[in-house]
A and B are shown apart, each in its own frame.
Chain A
Amino acid sequence: MSQAPPDRTGVDAHTAPTPAVDLRGITKRFGAVTACDSVDLTLSRGKIHGILGENGAGKSTLMKILIGLVLPDGGSIHIDGEPQQIHDPLAAARLGIGMVHQHFSLVDPLTVWENVALGEGSRLDPGAVRKRIGEIGDHYGLHIDPNARVGDLTAGLRQRVEIIKCLRRDPSIVIFDEPTSVLTPEESTTLFESFRDVVAAEGRAVVLVSHKLDEVLAATDEITIMRQGRVVEHLRTMNADARTLARAMVGREVSLRTERAALGLIEVDEADESLAAPAAASMDREPVLSIRHATAIGAQGAPVLDDLSLDVHAGEILGIAGVEGNGQRALGDLLSSLVRLSSGEVSVGGNVISTRTPGAMTAAGVGVIPEDRHDSGVVLDMTVAENLVLMTPQQVANRGVLDRAKLARRAEQMIAEFDIQCAGPEAPMWSLSGGNQQRVVLARELSYAPEILVAAQPTRGLDVGAIEYMTDRLRAAAAEGVAILLISSELEEILDLADRIAVMYRGAIVGEMLRADADLERLSLLMGGAAA
């Protein structure tokens, strides 16, 4: 890992009384990855403290340490001035720390009050629980019908139930872990407006973990920004603006990835004209992939794609940037024939492709490296050879009967070409490492010479060597004329690979620019939902 930048600007000049929470030098490593690197954080009573950072910046790990889900490797925790060891969530609860989790932990068939009462050790008193829900609702402006079935509620109301569940125990320190990822802007504004007054009046300490700039600016009193496991900036909200926050959040540190990006940039500089020319030329031609006004409704009833339009040309890499959870997954699934459009259309090479027919996208020549390869990329219980022909078994069959010899030959050839480390074609897929599973996916998707290749988070969870291999292959495919749609939540990856960048926010493309014109600040603002 890279050396620590000495630019930490954390200052706590304004904490006069004993802080509610004082974290000092918190460090947590997962294998080679340092999720938190001597992080300091001070939470004051009566204040809402925003923690801002990209995916993987270490925000969630830090909060899990505070709630006792993760044990730190080093550092100290003081609660109200007393040193504490938080070994498990129960210990955290005894200290008055409550957390509203990012993912729902609700039981759909049960009613609101049943969900709220769930996990309480004491005798169940439905009347008292309903009454308490009403009180919390009045107090915080979180009104809800305690008898409603949770399964019938919208995402926003479910989030409300989660919050009530947390508040019911009357915690003096409340952590919100990206609570608004499923809320509409209006819902989140109302929530935090009512919240602020109560927090200040009752002296509670609140943490709001988020990567949404506007939300943090609107709701908090002070802000800590994390990047790559470190605190890089600490400031009062009144002194902050979206631009400074965006810059601090993305940063310009030397990381492994940006080092390579820098190398890539040198190459681009040398061959600037020759590379830029075909990219510009491709703009004039008809796009290979064209999505128009795509709208799709997710399982929660809210749109996951909302009037999304984009074009990808042959030989071009279009990078889709954006904070995760803004519909990127649905976009990948749409091009895998896993999502149906309620309106809009997808065309490949000028032909409209039905989103209702299974396999239509694959048949039309759309290759996909899916975001979650275990979901639709590989079948773990089948062999490597079978996985290499998963989408097109007909190619190794005669009149519906598989030709074993042909299958084995083909598999061996692909294993050699893509340097897949495995015991052989007959090895079960689950016996391969993640990087090699990803190579199987890549080898297969390229094997049927797709016109379009969708690469969704293609390097997630891979080590440096595997990342390099993947990016080289993607570049090579583009050079051969494949239209590549790169969906990634890592901005560096997009800046490294893409010819053109589009930013996705709440299921739509909110901005588009050429790589050459890309401006980190503008990208970050777009990703944070601020109109640029």
Chain B
Amino acid sequence: MMRQGEWLGLYVASVAVALGVSAILIRATGGDSLAVFDALIEGSLTGSGRWGLTLGAAAPMLLVALGTIVSARAGLVNIGQEGQLLIGTAFAVYFGFRIGGPGPFNLVVLLVAGSIGGALWAGVAGVLRFRRGVPEVLSTLLLVTVASQVTAYALGREWLLLASNSVGARNNVSEQLAEDNRLPNLNIFGNQIPSSFFLGVVFAVIVAFALARTVWGFQLRMLGRSPQAAQRAGVSQRSFGMRAMLTSGAFAGLAGTVMFAGGGFQFSNYKFVPGFSGNIGWTGLLVALVARERAMPAIAVAIAFGALRTGSSFVGSTGVEARVTDVIEGLLVLALLVPPAVMFIRDRRRARAATTART
């Protein structure tokens, strides 16, 4: 297939350019570029136990991306996953510790509460959009800031999220999740693979199937592509759009919950802290973008982004300045974003040429 060749070529070319520029940059700042690339690969893949960590980091990114895909297909631009993730986690932490109960039961409470929290936060933007006509691009984005303030406030109050034994402690931290309440790891070929990753893959399959093969997905896609045709077909923008928004937020909330309760890559050692989200909400958005809003490719893209995260934590040990590491990470992200952008523009142009030739 010509198109697949085109894709592969574009990815190889753009990653090669990114690596080339990175190498020049490392040399220029007095580092050893080969050592840096070695560290990247060792940290993400070849190092002992690193595979599990990479997949653990990929899991929440994938979940966020799946939510983004659902809302994007409905024609909604939800870019507030970072905030929905925070509020979702806050819900999970609050209800998890309030309700308690035995391990597996408590885990379910965590996951459900987290999803509901994320959905509610996205629902705020949804209500504004469908009742008041406020563009969701703005409201979701601005609600990120509100979410981080709200969670910071809650983390400072014992009756909300603050751990009861932390009086006088310097940081506002929630209690640590008990060991038997955490998401388990699966031991495969000597790697601890976190179950959160499998959860993500299962959801990716469900989302892909629902979008491509169900009436709901059909109507959602119709709504995203042509709201007028959808309205004629009885697909109400308000109710379908609202549900898509809630689903999108629920995935972000779930992502936060697996960061909190998941094994593998430890985001904050099973505690909820200020700045907990660690840009996973934003990265998940990028994953959806690079996967061109398709669920199955999002799995591979999420793993790539997860690998970048785990790998770059090893780069510091090569003596390269931390800022250079950030730049390399940024360049590689850009390299993954360029091919979809190029193809998008090319398809657009072809489609336009096709339609103008016809009319």
A and B, one complex?
yes
Q: Which residues of chain A are near B225, meaning CB under 8 Å? A: 379-382
Residues on B with beta carbons closer than 8 Å to the beta carbon of A190? none
Min CB distance A516 to B, Å, is: 35
Q: A359-B233, A359-B234, A359-B235 are in contact. Are A394 and B228 (CB under 8 A)?
A: no
Among A382, A386, A437, chain B packs the most CB atoms within 10 A around the CB of A382
In the bound complex, CA of A376 to CA of B231 (Å): 8
The 10 closest A-B pairs by CB, nearest first: A359-B234, A376-B228, A358-B231, A391-B233, A379-B226, A393-B218, A379-B225, A358-B236, A336-B232, A376-B229
The number of chain A residues touching the other chain, given as a range, is 35 or more
Specify which of B213, B221, B232 is in contact with A362 (CB 8 Å cutoff): B232
Q: List 7 A-B contacts (CB under 8 A).
A: A359-B235, A362-B232, A376-B229, A378-B229, A382-B225, A391-B234, A393-B219
Q: Which of chain B's residues have a CB closer than 8 A to the CB of A390?
A: 222, 229, 233
- Which residue in chain B gives the minimum CB-CB distance to A375? B228
**CB of B359 closer than 8 Å to a CB of A:** yes
**Which residues of B lie under 8 Å from residue A338 when comparing CB positions?**
228, 231-232
Segment 321-356 of B: residues with Cβ below 8 Å from A: 351, 354-355
Would you call B231 and A337 a contact (CB within 8 A)? yes
Given A376-B229, A402-B214, A404-B213: A358 and B235 interface contact (C-beta under 8 Å): yes
The minimal Cβ–Cβ distance linking A428 to chain B, given in whole angstroms, is: 8
Q: Which of B104-160 contact A (CB under 8 A)?
A: none
Shortest B60–chain A CB gap in Å is 29
Residues in A neighbouring B234, C-beta threshold 8 A: 337, 357-360, 362-363, 391
Residue pair B232, A401 in contact (C-beta under 8 Å):
no
Q: Are B222 and A379 in contact (CB under 8 A)?
A: yes
- Cα-based distance from A411 to B221 in the complex (angstroms): 19
A481 CB-CB contact with B under 8 Å? no
CB of A359 within 8 A of CB of B226, answer no
How far in angstroms is the closest Cβ of chain A from B299? 22
Q: How far is the CA of A430 from the CA of B355 in the complex (A)?
A: 7
Residues of A within 8 A of B2 (CB): none
Tell me if A401 and B213 are in contact (CB < 8 A). Answer: yes
Say how far B228's CB is from chain A's closest CB, in angstroms. 4
Interface membership of chain B positions 221-247, coded 1 if the CB is closer than 8 angstroms to chain A and 0 otherwise: 110011011111111110000000000
Is the pair B232, A359 in contact by a Cβ cutoff of 8 Å? yes
B198 contacts chain A at the CB level, 8 A cutoff? no
- Residues of B with C-beta under 8 A to A382: 221-222, 225
Q: Choose from A368, A394, A431, A432 the contact partner of B232 (Cβ within 8 Å).
A: A368
In the complex, whether B1 has a CB less than 8 A from a CB of chain A is no
> B358 contacts A394, CB within 8 Å?
no
Closest to A391 in B: B233
What is the count of residue pairs linking A and B with beta-carbon distances less than 8 angstroms? Answer: 90
With both beta carbons as reference points, the residue of chain B lying nearest to A373 in the complex is identified as B229
Q: Select one of A377, A394, A402, A431 contacting B213, CB under 8 A.
A: A402
Tell me, rounded to whole Å, the shortest Cβ–Cβ distance linking B244 to chain A: 15
Give the shortest distance, in Å, between A313 (CB) and chain B (any CB): 24
Q: Which residues of A contact B236 (CB under 8 A)?
A: 358-359
In the complex, A390 Cα to B229 Cα: how many Å?
Answer: 8
User: Which residues of A lie under 8 Å from residue B354 when comparing CB positions?
Assistant: 430-431
* Partner of A402 from B218, B230, B232, B359 at Cβ < 8 Å: B218
- Judge if B167 is at the interface, Cβ distance under 8 Å: no
Give Cα A184 to B219, complex, Å.
41
A434→B358 contact, CB < 8 A: yes
Map CB proximity to B onto A430-457 as digits: 1 under 8 Å, 0 otherwise: 1111100100000000000000000000
Return chain A residues, CB-CB under 8 Å to B231. Answer: 336-338, 358-359, 376
Query: Is A361 an interface residue when CB atoms closer than 8 A count as contact?
Result: yes
Bound state CA distance, A360 and B236, in angstroms? Answer: 11
Cα–Cα, bound, A401→B206 (Å) = 12
Q: Report whether B351 and A430 are in contact in the complex, using a CB–CB cutoff of 8 Å.
A: yes
B215 within 8 A of A: yes
**How far is A336 from B226 in the complex, measured between Cα atoms in Å?**
14
- Residues 350-396 of A at the B interface (beta carbon under 8 Å): 357-363, 368, 375-382, 386, 390-394
> Does B7 have its Cβ within 8 Å of any Cβ on chain A?
no
**Taking each of B233, B237, B354, which has the highest tally of chain A beta carbons within 10 Å of its own beta carbon?**
B233
Decide: B215 and A402 in contact? CB cutoff 8 A. yes
Enumerate chain B residues within 8 angstroms of A362, measured Cβ to Cβ: 232-234
Instruction: Output the least CB separation between B238 and chain A (Å).
Output: 9
Taking A359-B231, A359-B234, A360-B234 as given, write out 18 further A-B residue pairs in contact, using a Cβ cutoff of 8 Å, ordered by the A residue number. A357-B234, A358-B232, A358-B236, A375-B229, A376-B231, A378-B229, A379-B222, A379-B229, A381-B225, A382-B222, A382-B225, A392-B233, A393-B215, A393-B219, A394-B215, A397-B215, A401-B213, A437-B358
